[in-house]
Structure 1
Amino acid sequence: MSDDKKKLGTRAPLGIKRTVETGQVKQSFSHGRSNTVVVEVKKRRILKPGDAAAQPEAKEEAKAPETKAAPEKKAAPAPAPKKAPARKKSEAEEIADRKAMQEQLLREAEEARMAALEDARRREEEAKSKQTKEEAKRAEANRKAEEEAAKQAEVDARKAEEEARQQAVEAAASAPRQDDRPHKKPPVAVAAKKPEPKKADKGRVPHDRRSGKLTVSRALRGDEGGRARSLAALKRAREKEKRAQQHSGPREKTVRDVVVPDTITVAELAKRMGEKAADLVKSLFNMGMMVTVNQTIDQDTAELLVTEFGHKIQRVSEADIDIDTSEDVDAAETLKARPAVVTIMGHVDHGKTSLLDAIRGADVASGEAGGITQHIGAYQVTPKGGAPITFLDTPGHEAFTEMRARGANVTDIVILVVAADDGLKPQTIEAINHTKAAGVPMIVAINKVDKDGANPQKVREELLQHEIIVEAMSGEVQDVEVSAKKKTGIDKLLEAINLQAELLELKANPDRAADATVVEAKLDKGRGPVATVLVQRGTLRVGDTFVAGPAAGKVRALIDDHGKRVDEAGPAFPVEVLGLSALPAAGDPLTVVENDARAREVADYRQRKLDEKRTTQAPMSLENMFAQKGSQVIQFPLIVKADVQGTAEAINAALHKISTDEIQVRILHSGVGAITESDVTLAASTGAPIIGFNVRPNAKAREVAKRDEVEFRYYDVIYHLTDWVKDAMAGELGPEIVEHVKGRAEVKQVFPAGKKDKAAGLLVVDGVIQKGFHARLTRDDVIVSKTVIASLRRFKDDVKEVEAGTECGVVLEDTNDIQPGDMLEVFEVEERARTL
């Protein structure tokens, strides 16, 4: 309405001087709302003597007011005669002019009001066109109901007004002396009757309440006094209506096939059933079982719940949760040729890594600490004119037995490296045993043939002791003489590998979900848990969901042996996998699964089994408990942190081998990755040193270690580590005490010597007795006391020593329990540095 009134104020001026001035007043309401109202002020027109000539014009304009549609009539009034005498308007004419002006203004106001109604009607039609058909019908029904309610309210108001008037007249007639004030009672009666339209409009929002719509009926009634509803309120109301329509009918019950293992928690069962856990707990309470959502129930109880809620149960054994790939055999037509996996094994420092460097054309050995391999390296090499070959380089130190066994289990061909100048060594024999146990073919590479004193024939003869007959001695095992330093014989070795691979006819199915083996695992500071895996069948792709041992994850990235990112890895392809949730153990199988839920289920099952194995691995009986309590075995605590999982396992195994009956290594914690604050806290509370193998502490750990005086030991070669632990354990035991018996004597007589001491007359039976020697007094071969010879006399003279067959007298320190017939054994004590 305010916009229309503004248009009214800007209309073309009338022919006579305006007697109406327009203005705007701003009204303020509660909650920060405001409204602008147009105010009209009427002024009284005062005629002056000079205005007499304008009276005929005003009279003509009053009789025929001009409009916007006929502007030409406005500019063509009849000119007044110049000689006509000025005539003063009479009072009747002025009244007529005012009435005409009022009629003109009323018409303009009515036109503006009708234009506003037309605008409101147009906006309402536009809003209707945007609504759905149901909303339009609902709006139309509401509008009709509002109009009917308004009509009914108007009729009721008129009736109430008539009744009020009659009551007022009757009251005035009955009490003529009182003031005639009938206008005070009708409002009371009207107020009493106004709630009736609300009863007729029951179930709908009344028209005088907040609403965002301006209907025609409201505009005609002029009902502008109510507060306008906000857009947020309208939106909430519509959403409430939609929810009411959606939930008006009962939801259809979904029947699920619920997989239930031997034991399951209430929360997990509710999740698989798609029901609320509180409902399951309530049903169990009704069965007489007071349980919570985190408690475990058996399979029979779970079946009762599943059937009660209308679902179907599928019983499975807990072992069925784990993935068994042994029964999943690929069809013969799906198999395709794949590269061979070759493992290089042998004794430490026989040139395994140097031989691999010569094949790869890289220098890995120079980067290895102490010149020995600390963990398994996986590489793929494509020789000129040949097929790709995957090489695994295993450590040769005695501590890495598990790694060599793991390398033999995932390989197709084993290359046994033997130094021509050194022959077979313990780790060489161990590698032979691992190869035989794995049942894989072997190729003997006799290395260092260029050195002085090299004797390849001696190596072939030593292999006969272990039932390995090479081709040079009419056997089936291939042997190649090579020199990793001068790179001679490398081509022959590659030819032998390709020949053996052709005989094996290595094939795998690349078009399936990947199965792989974790060769090595480590914790990288920037990338998190990283596992080096060797794909055995299928293709591992970025984005695959997998489970590796007790760790689940999703492949975030694949990195090959050259440090480049790849999108997929086929059979016999070694890659680093990023995206693990935890660190798997080396040797764990990696299997791609269909979704995250399956991966978490298998990982949780495997972790639970590992926990059970760890807690029940060495049950202790009462006899063992009391025997261990009574023994004097010293515990040597240690905390071990290494760079990769396999190295940590090798260190733990090597340290446990150092333990003896007197002192044992107790590894409080063994992990992979940098030394953290929690490691330092554990070491400070137990007094254990921290061994860091190719790792260092972070800044916070160094700060806490300096405050708590925790000892750090850093190593990069495993035998340096074991040597230090041996020395530390020997120092913990202290020096070794060695007794050298010097002589024996028999007590013949006892007599007093001074106020308290007793002297013994001895006959030296064997050896020599000297003053200051340690002595042991025995009675019937039972030790009575340990003492020292304080005084030694021969007759009345003090002597330093007495030889066998001679009598003497002695005084013993701190003992008077001496009897004739006792034996005195004299010995000398020597301290030696202890070695383990």
Structure 2
Amino acid sequence: MSDNNDGKKPLGVRGGGAGGRSGNVKQSFSHGRTKNVVVETKRKRVVTPKPGAAKSGGANPKLGDPSKRPAGITDAEMERRLKALQAAKAREAEEQAAREAEEQRRAEERERRRAEIEAKEREEREREEAAKKKAEEEERARLEAEKAEAAAKKAAADAKKAAPKAAPKAAEAPAAPAAGGDDRGPARGAPTKTGIATPRKKEREDDAGRRGKGRDDSRRGGKLTLNQALTGGEGGRQKSLAAMKRKQERLRQKAMGNQEREKIVRDVQLPETIVVSELANRMAERVADVVKELMKMGMMVTQNQTIDADTAELIIEEFGHKVVRVSDADVEDVITQIEDSEEELEGRPPVITIMGHVDHGKTSLLDAIRNANVTAGEAGGITQHIGAYQVTTDSGAVLTFLDTPGHAAFTSMRSRGAQVTDIVVLVVAADDSVMPQTIEAISHAKAAGVPMIVAINKCDKPAADPMKVRTELLQHEVVVEAMSGEVQDIEVSAKTGAGLDSLLEAIALQAEILELKANPGRAAEGAVIEAKLDVGRGPVATVLIQKGTLKRGDIFVVGEQWGKVRALINDKGERVDEAAPSVPVEVLGLNGTPEAGDVLNVVATEAQAREIAEYRENAAKEKRAAAGAATTLEQLMAKAKADQNVSELPILVKADVQGSAEAIVQAMEKIGNDEVRVRVLHSGVGAITESDIGLAEASGAPVFGFNVRANAPARNSANQKGVEIRYYSVIYDLVDDVKAAASGLLSAEIRENFIGYSEIKEVFKVTGIGKVAGCLVTEGVARRSAGVRLLRDNVVIHEGTLKTLKRFKDEVKEVISGQECGMAFENYDDIRPGDVIEIFEREEVERTL
């Protein structure tokens, strides 16, 4: 056995063998569970050293006998093993102590929680027992009170019955013995010899019977319910609070003699259509009653349906109210036209509009008056916006100038300028004389009924001829003072400044004659000269105040838009708090961009302004829809048939200001003819946005930006979708490009050029080709690529192309006059001698608008 185990001894269990060693270990698990296990340990090894293995020197007593160690174990190794064993024992002792401490802590925690739960349960039981005890005591007190009351009633009844009988006996009977009984007689209620109970005994028996009956009833009744507690246990229900109130109201009406309430007659405002519930609300009647009346009239409607004004009027009269008819347009009644009295009127500066043909020096003349340089900042040197400025002369007079464009496209701008002005200054170049837009400006001034002053500009030029200008103005019924007329004419030069003082004096004289006055103390009213969408400031309108004073914070409505004045900016770019009559200002605070030419009115509240703007917007939508819709089916079919042969060039227009957009749209409408036209899908002010690109892509239209640019998302979207964006700063270029693009839609014009004639002399039949005509070219030249017509007695028999053209036996491209040739027609054989062949060529000529 020792040979098989190499001197190792087997493991054993305590008590299992001699020298065996074992121990109990306490294992810890989760949730505080433990388990004792028996661990077997190895027996102590006894190592017999080999002879000669012991070294010289004394053995270390701590390391044990070297002779008993295993073979090959040195003292250092033995010492290291002993230290490891001691460290393991120490660590095991620490872990055991930690496990015991943790187990003790968990046991204490479990005990504490158990105690808390038991305390809560105990408190809950005590609370329930107290509540139950209190309920039992209340029930017992109630039953005892009922019994006492019943006993008192019965005793009173018995006493009332026994009183007549007891009166005669009382005289005969001896005095009643004392309570408790003695030798004087039996106690009250004690049994007599005859066995008949006394009245006291009878009462006790009755009480006992009642108590027993009450106990039985309460036992049969079970638990006390909430309904029993509220109704007193009688099984009935108490009246509700509403029932009590109704009863009190009936008693009050009865006390007042049943007088009916007097009906209140109301003035009911009735629009064109109204909802049934709203009609009932305005009459202060029940909705059910109104619906019932409508059903009596044969209209099966609900409270959410709409009825017309005539039906509603019948219902209002049926209920005894008065009808006040109103319409949607009544919302504008808040804008009242006040007649100003003479005492309230004060003098105001005149408004002067500069008008004339393009490039006649209108803006330069105004710059010379203002000592500014506006033309330097204008694209192409032409004015494309309306400018509004105020100028103070050397004499102290304040003048308001409006500068209008002279280009043919800006007719609407010139018309607006003439409508809001007091005086028109017609600028005519001395070297160019009267031009088309000069004539148009004269017409606008006459239509507006305002006085005119003619400023003959560019008199410093060598080619200037002021007298020619005066003479040509006579053709248009403008007679100047130099020609014995009433219209003032002044020769000026914007370049040298000559005649400017005379022009200002003439304007001041004309303003003095007009006696211009306005009331600055009333609510403001003005005209929108120009409107634009500014990136940083939002919608901005240039307004010329005509009446009253516009102040910061005023609520106003202008066209289809409304707003509150956030800021007022004058022509110098300065912020002001108010604007008096004849003062042009930029107004900030609109909710949208108004149309140029709209009238600005100040109102009292935001609700009124919003209501008026919504009404105007809806009215404009209905008007546009009515204008665009065909009235009859025949008109619709005729329009569709006409549009079938018309090619359209769709475009989108975005401009910097409203007036420019309007002018461009009007110019686009004039481009086209019966075959081609330009259709503006959308026009607006402000930068080109992503929504514009989406609309352009859906319609296949280019986008034209006039003094505006596309933002970054719009540019990216245009690149992805392949939408073309074109930028312009001069209206000439835009109109010319659109004309060129629209011209590309025109079908090319086909022109025929006759190049020759030939006469058929003989007809031959050739195998594989058919009939071939032997011809003599009598005029011009015959070409194989040209078109031909066969004439018989000067009547066209056939038109087509040549299949072959031969000179002798060879195919040739052309044959000149005087030579003979052979011709064969493509898909045509009916040719005869004497027929004439007409030879021609076609060419396409591009058309322009």
Structure 1 length as normaliser, TM-score?
Answer: 0.67
CA positional deviation for 1:590? 2.3
CA distance in structure 2 between the partners assigned to 1:699 and 1:279 by the alignment: 62
- 1:444-475 CA distance string (max 9 Å, x none): 11222223322222222221221212222222
- Identify which range, 399-408 or 258-267, moves more after superposition: 258-267
- The Cα offsets for residues 768-821 of structure 1, whole Å up to 9 and x where unpaired, read as 333322334577988776544453345656555455676643234465565777
User: Per the alignment, in what secondary structure is the counterpart of residue 475 of structure 2?
Assistant: helix
* Aligned counterpart in structure 1 of residue 677 of structure 2, from 651, 654, 664: 664
Which of 453, 466, 481 is the equivalent residue of 2:476? Answer: 466
8 Å CA contact 1:386, 1:498 repeated in 2: no
Give the distance between the partners of 1:447 and 1:747, measured in 2 at CA. Answer: 75
Corresponding position: 1:539 with 2:549: yes
1:453–1:411 Cα change, 3 Å: same
Q: Which residue does the alignment assign to 1:680? A: 693
Describe the shift of the 1:492–1:744 C-alpha distance in structure 2 as closer, same or farther (beyond 3 A). Answer: same
- The question of 1:416 aligning with 2:426 is answered yes
Deviations 1:735-756 (A, max 9, x none): 5543322234466665444525
1:642 to 2:652 alignment: no
SS of the aligned residue for 2:650 comes to strand
Q: Return the offset for 1:309.
A: 6.4
Tell me how far 1:435 sits from its aligned partner: 1.1
1:575 aligned residue: 585
Equivalent residue for 1:629, pick from 635, 641, 646: 641
* AA matched with 2:528: V
User: Alpha carbons of 1:672 and 1:824: their partners in 2 closer, same or farther (altered >3 Å)?
Assistant: farther
Relative distance call for 1:254 and 1:638 in structure 2 (3 A) is farther
2:754 to 730, 741, 750: 741
Q: In the TM superposition, what is the alpha-carbon distance from 1:633 to its structure 2 partner?
A: 2.0
CA distance, structure 1, for counterparts of residue 552 and residue 466 of structure 2: 48
Q: 1:732 Cα deviation (Å)?
A: 3.4
Distance 1:703 1:797, change over 3 A: closer
The 5-angstrom pairing of residues 696-775 of structure 1 reads 696-733=709-746, 736-745=749-758, 751-756=764-769, 758-762=771-775, 764=777, 767-775=780-788
Cα distance change, pair 626–187 in 1 and its aligned pair in 2 (3 A): closer
Instruction: Tell me, in whole angstroms, the C-alpha distance in 2 between the residues paired with 1:805 and 1:326.
Output: 93
Cα displacement (A) at 1:536: 1.8
Give 1:406's aligned residue.
Answer: 416
Q: Trace 1:559-598 onto structure 2 (pairs within 5 A).
A: 559-598=569-608
Distance 1:356-1:822 versus aligned 2 partners, 3 A rule? farther
Q: How far off is 1:706 after superposition? A: 1.8
The CA distance in 1 between the partners of 2:303 and 2:629, in whole Å, is 32
1:827 to 840, 843, 848: 840
Pair 1:645–1:552, CA change in 2 (3 A): same
Task: Name 2:167's counterpart in structure 1.
Answer: none
Aligned CA distance change for structure 1 residues 364 and 796 (closer, same or farther; 3 Å): same
Cα distance in structure 1, aligned partners of 2:361 and 2:413: 17
SS of residue in 1 equivalent to 2:745 = helix
Q: How far apart are the structure 2 equivalents of 1:442 and 1:490?
A: 16
Q: CA deviation at 1:665?
A: 0.6
Tell me what 2:348 maps to.
338
Aligned position for 2:94: none
Unmatched tracts of structure 1, length 5 or more: 1-24, 38-148, 175-182, 203-240
Bigger Rg over Cα: 2
Give the AA of the match of 2:653: V
How far the C-alpha of 1:602 sits from its partner, in A, is 3.5
Residue 762 of structure 1 and its aligned partner are, at CA, apart by: 4.6
Question: Deviation of residue 359 (structure 1)?
Answer: 1.9
Q: Deviations over 1:717-766 (max 9, x none)?
A: 11110111112122333655433222344666654445255434456565
Q: Secondary structure at the match of 2:363?
A: helix
Looking at structure 2, the residues matched to 666 and 467 of structure 1 have their Cα atoms a distance apart, in angstroms, of: 38
Look up the match of 1:52.
none
Return the alpha-carbon distance in structure 1 between the equivalents of residues 290 and 546 of structure 2.
Answer: 44
Query: Residue by residue, what CA displacement relative to the aligned partner does 1:486-514 show, whole Å, maximum 9, x if unpaired?
Result: 33322221111111111111122223222
Aligned to 1:603: 613
Q: Kindly tell me: are residues 490 and 759 of structure 1, through their superposed partners in 2, closer, same or farther at Cα, counting changes over 3 Å? A: same
Give the Cα–Cα distance (whole angstroms) in 2 for the partners of residues 576 and 279 of structure 1. Answer: 56
Residue 299 to residue 496, structure 1, CA distance change in 2 (3 Å): same
Shift of 1:184: 14
Distance apart, 1:712 and its partner CA: 0.6
Superposition map of 1:39-54 within 5 A: none
TM-score after normalising by structure 2: 0.66
Could you say which residue in structure 2 is the equivalent of 1:519? 529
8 Å CA contact 2:335, 2:603 repeated in 1: no
Q: Secondary structure at the match of 2:627?
A: coil
2: distance between equivalents of 1:185 and 1:403?
103
What is the aligned-residue identity percentage? 57
Helix, strand or coil at the partner of 1:466: coil
2: CA distance, partners of 1:254 / 1:367: 70
- Identify the residue that residue 377 of structure 1 maps to in structure 2: 387
1:325-346 deviation line (CA, Å, top 9, x unaligned): 8975433443322111111111
CA–CA distance in structure 2, aligned partners of residues 192 and 755 of structure 1:
126
**In structure 1, which of residues 774, 791, 815 is the aligned counterpart of residue 804 of structure 2?**
791
1:402-427 per-residue CA deviation (whole Å, 9 max, x = no partner) reads: 11111111111111111222222111
Q: What runs of 5+ residues in structure 2 fail to find an aligned partner?
A: 1-115, 128-134, 150-200, 210-214, 235-244, 254-259
The answer to whether the 8 Å contact 2:756/2:839 transfers is yes
Q: Give the one of 596, 613, 638 matched to 2:623.
A: 613
**Is residue 483 from structure 1 mapped to residue 505 from structure 2 by the alignment?**
no
Q: Distance in 1 between matches of 2:303 and 2:386?
A: 45
Q: Which amino acid aligns with 2:386?
A: I
Q: Please give the root-mean-square deviation of Cα atoms over the aligned residues, in Å.
A: 4.8
- Show the 5 A alignment for 1:162-181: none
- Counterpart Cα distance in 2 of 1:570 and 1:267: 48
Structure-2 separation of matches of 1:608 and 1:561: 34
1:693 aligns with 2:679: no
Show the counterpart of 1:390: 400
8 Å Cα contact 2:334-2:603 kept in structure 1: no
CA shift in 2, pair 1:477/1:264, >3 Å? farther
Equivalent in 451, 458, 461 of residue 441 of structure 1: 451
Q: CA deviation at 1:662?
A: 2.2
CA shift for structure 1 position 551: 2.5
Q: Which moved more, 1:283-292 or 1:601-610?
A: 283-292
Shift of 1:479: 1.5
Show CA shifts across 1:264-317 (max 9, x none): 666886787789999977865665446688876432123235446665322246
Q: Output the amino acid matched with 2:688.
A: I
Question: Aligned partners of 2:717 and 2:397: how far apart in 1?
Answer: 54
Cα 1:792/1:548, change in 2 over 3 Å: same
Once residues 201 and 389 of structure 1 are traced to their aligned partners in structure 2, the CA distance between those partners, rounded to angstroms, is 98
Equivalent pair of 1:353/1:365 in contact (CA under 8 Å): yes
- For these two proteins, the number of residue pairs brought into alignment is 651
Residue 156 (1) aligns with residue 142 (2): yes
Q: How far 1:442 moved relative to its partner?
A: 0.8
Deviation of 1:659 (Å): 0.9
The 2-side partners of 1:616 and 1:267 are apart by 31
